[in-house]
Amino acid sequence: MGKFTSTIWKNFFYYLGTKKIKFNIKKRDLPKNGINIFLANPKNPVEEKLIESALYHSGIPIQFANKKVIGITKASDLSISDLKTGNFLLHIKDYRHNESGHLQALEEVLSHAGKEKIPLTLTPLFLWWHPRRVLEYLTIKIINLTQSVSLIRILGKEFLKKNLVLKILETLTLDEKLIAEFNENELTVYAEDWIDQFFARQSREKKLIFGERSKSPEFVLDWILKLPEFKELFKNLSHSEAKKAKKDMAKIVSEIDGRPQPFMIRIFVTILEKVLRVLFSGFSISKDDLAKISDLSKKNTLIFVPNHQSNFDFPTIFYLLYKNHLATPFIAAGINMNFWPLGPILRRCGAFFLRRKFSDDDLYLLIFKNYINFLVTHKFNIEFYFEGGRSRTGKLLPPRYGMLSWILESSLYQGKYPVVFLPLCIQYEQVMEGAQYVRELKGEKKEKESFFTFVKAARVFRRRFGGVSVSLGSEIYLDQHTENLLDRESLSKGKKREILQKLAFEIGHEINKVREVNMISLISLCLLDCPEGELSQDELTDYIKNEIDYLQQINAPLEKKLINSFELVLSDSLYELAKLKVIQRNSENNKLFVPFEKRGIATYYKNTILHFFCVDEILELGKDSYQSALDLFNLLKYDFYFHKKVKKEITGELGQQKKERKLAGRSIFYILETYYHGLSILNETKPINLPKENSKLPSFFKKELKKRASEKLVTLPESQFMSAFEGLTEIGKGHRDQLYPQEKITSTLKILQTLKDNYSFKRIDG
């Protein structure tokens, strides 16, 4: 029998020189009876001491170990027969070599437990250095090179908390009765098998942090060329034509491909952390959301689907994942972002680039679809924005189905691949591009991204933009939408369209459901929609509290500080909005109002929470007629991701308790006014005179709405540019192609005319 060293560590804190360095390790459900074997894989004595110190300071006693622990003043040898209950720490240096005698030690413990019928469990420990900054990375290299405990002692616990991942993994129960029946050879095989499983588990945990190992463009191209559709493509080509085709394909793959490099990611995060902390006052994502991402990524390919409000969406999500030791995904980015120096940096952080238009390039489309196929089948996590671009209005844009379609097809490639969509809502107190969005909606052309616009953007460092929160909606398993399909060949066009629509709707609904309500949005909503046009601070407070009561009744997510520190948050938000001149005070009565030239940006903030009120608005505006309410619902279905129960609420099939709102029936008026003028334009225009190309319809409506605004026919200024052109475009297409009847336009106009006549609005000229 072997000898084991007692590790009752009276002077254990000398390992790291201080008791102040502590680790918070979740003990999970560690067994209280029998023998529990902790399996650890330290690379050097420093890591051994860190593991032992973590267990000690977390109150987990270790009674035995397979290696003598340096630094113990009193060590006594105990026989294996003394091992009845307690924790046994087994340091495994390398499963290919037996330098620490770990295999023999494990065999003897297993044999002893089997003979004595002692309950036996295995608990893997995972330790990994994960520095986020370049300097920390170099410091860790020095620590491991010199194996200096003194250096860790100097750096202290903050350094370890930021850069060391240390987990107690799930405890596994062994069958001691089965072990008792093994002969010597079988016990050796059994012990080796568990050590192999331990290293496989270590590998899985590492992938949670770093993700799957990226492949070279040459590997990607070679994989794509082996696909049946490309073999068919090359079958009828001559040698010279095939050579040219491969060269063209290599260029396209090189243009698309993301090539994440750990060292470049560290450099990027080092810079990014400084930038984000200058621009924003704080970041929040719940621990539960992070734990869910970690758990789901163990067995699935994750597809992160955030809303798109700002160019800082990707950096914020990227930073929060990396900071919390989670693998960063491959990110779908527009080719417009591939300019020097940003493009090469983003590519080396995992961005892959997509052309905005490629309908006339069949080869590019085929390669891009199969690049997505490559990522999904090789279990790389992906992030893309299903709206297609940044929302200029604050509301979720209608979905774009391209990426969703390609991911759906890829998940069915040669069978089924486990794919989970994670809807993410990113919310800013103040969006930095807000003023630019309003100018673009008024007709100003979007400035093309380039090195010079990148340099010009440095002026944003003059101010801060408040806090940023990221919330995770309920996960969506693609299997639940494709349950009867076995492979890509069984996916018909009709079924595909049905799955994509349901999937996009569910993603949008989940994003809206978790979008947090903040004070700036509430102030904007109340000042824009109040019939008085201006409010004293006390009147504004009453309006806001009324809205909060309503939001609490429908279980909308509110910022915690909105409830806990209402007065302070209100005061701070009013100060910020006044500084930006979004709100002003009337010099005569000291009341607050939104000046006309700032109603656009205030509407943006209001729109971020408008979806919480849209059903209440429809019920209020259509209260005299179910048909009127249904017509409004059908009109607004292009602008909101309505939940499944809305129609039943409107028709009265579903009992809905009346929730009192002072502003009921006023919040969506500006959208309805846009539709009123849009339908009036269609009523006055012959179908034959409408643009033949669908892409030109939004410009047509924008031009005509400007004419009406110049004739002072528009009540609210935001109605002429914060408009729902998607809905008008769909109606315009139907009217032009004689699929949207004239009678429908006339009846809807009557409803909207009545609402317009009843709307009261006090104009304040700042």
Residues facing 173 on adjacent strands: 121
Report how far residue 104's alpha carbon sits from residue 496's, in angstroms, rounded to the nearest whole number: 57
Report how far residue 208's alpha carbon sits from residue 226's, in angstroms, rounded to the nearest whole number: 29
Q: What is the pLDDT of residue 360?
A: 75
Cβ(187)–Cβ(157) below 8 Å? no
**Residue from 311, 318, 304, 328 nearest 271 by CA:** 318
Coil, strand or helix at 476: strand
Q: Check residue 740 and report its DSSP letter.
A: S
Q: Which CATH class for the 516-609 domain?
A: mainly alpha
Q: Which helix (H) or strand (E) holds 584?
A: strand 584-585
Instruction: Give the pTM.
Output: 0.88
Q: How many CB atoms lie within 10 A of CB 62?
A: 21
Q: How many CB atoms lie within 10 A of CB 238?
A: 8
Q: What is the pLDDT of residue 161?
A: 77
Outline where DSSP puts E strands in 98-176: 120-129, 164-168, 172-174
Q: Which two tokens stand for residue 20?
A: 């102040």
Q: What is the pLDDT of residue 18?
A: 36
Which parts of the chain sit beneath pLDDT 50?
Answer: 1-22, 24, 69-75, 95, 99-100, 766
Give the phi and the psi of residue 762 in degrees, each rounded to 5.
Answer: -90, 115
Outline where DSSP puts E strands in 349-495: 351-354, 382-383, 419-428, 467-472, 476-477
Q: Check residue 87 and report its DSSP letter.
A: E
Q: Which two tokens stand for residue 729?
A: 């475009």
Q: What is the pLDDT of residue 522?
A: 97
Domain boundaries of the chain, sorted by first residue: 3-209, 217-510, 516-609, 669-758
Q: Indicate the CATH number for domain 217-510.
A: 3.40.1130.10
Q: What is the pLDDT of residue 203?
A: 86
Q: What is the pLDDT of residue 723?
A: 54
